[in-house]
A and B are shown apart, each in its own frame.
Chain A
Amino acid sequence: MTRYALHPQVGLRDEAFGALAYHYGNRRLTFLNDARLVAVVRTAADHDDVEGALAAAGVPDQQRPAYLKALQRLADAEVLTCE
C-alpha cells in the first residue's frame, strides 16, 4: 500500500491550469497540469492508500496507471512524501 502526502516544505498554489508546487528546500517549481491530479495531491494524506485518493478524485480506471506514474514523479521531485 502506497500512501502519499504533500511534502512539508512544499507550497501548493491553485491555478487555472491545475496548480504550482514550489519546494522551499530544493527551489524546484513543479507544474501540475491537471485539476484531478491536484485534487489527488491535496487529499492523498486523508486516504489509507493512493488508490483511495484516485477513486475519490474520480480518476477513470484506464488512466490510473498514468496518474500513478505522475504521482511517482512528484515523489521523485520531493513534492510528495511516500510511505
Chain B
Amino acid sequence: MTSTVTESVVSPTTGTTDGTAVDRPAAYDDEVLAELLVEEISIDGMCGVY
C-alpha cells in the first residue's frame, strides 16, 4: 500500500532511461526503471480532502 518512493532507491545517475549504467547488474537497472515507471497510492492518500 505504501507508495514506492523511488528517490530512496535511486541515486541521480541511475535515474536515466537510456541504459548507460553498464557496470551494474542488468536486473537491478530493470527493477529501478520499473519503479520509476509505476507508483501507487490510495485515493485516500492525499491531504486536503475529507
Interface set of A (CB-CB < 8 Å, partner B)? 22, 27-34, 37, 60, 62-63, 65-67, 69-70, 73-74, 77
**How many Cβ-Cβ contacts under 8 Å join chain A to chain B?**
61
Are the CB atoms of A63 and B34 closer together than 8 Å? Answer: no
Complex Cα gap A73–B32 (Å): 12
Per-position binary interface string of chain B over residues 5-44, scored 1 when its CB falls under 8 Å from any chain A CB and 0 otherwise = 0000000000001010000001001111110111111111
* Nearest CB in chain A: distance from B19 CB, A: 5
Residues of B near A27 (CB, < 8 A) are 42-44
Q: How large is the interface on B (under 10, 10 to 19, 20 to 34, 35 or more residues)?
A: 10 to 19
* Nearest CB in chain B: distance from A55 CB, A: 17
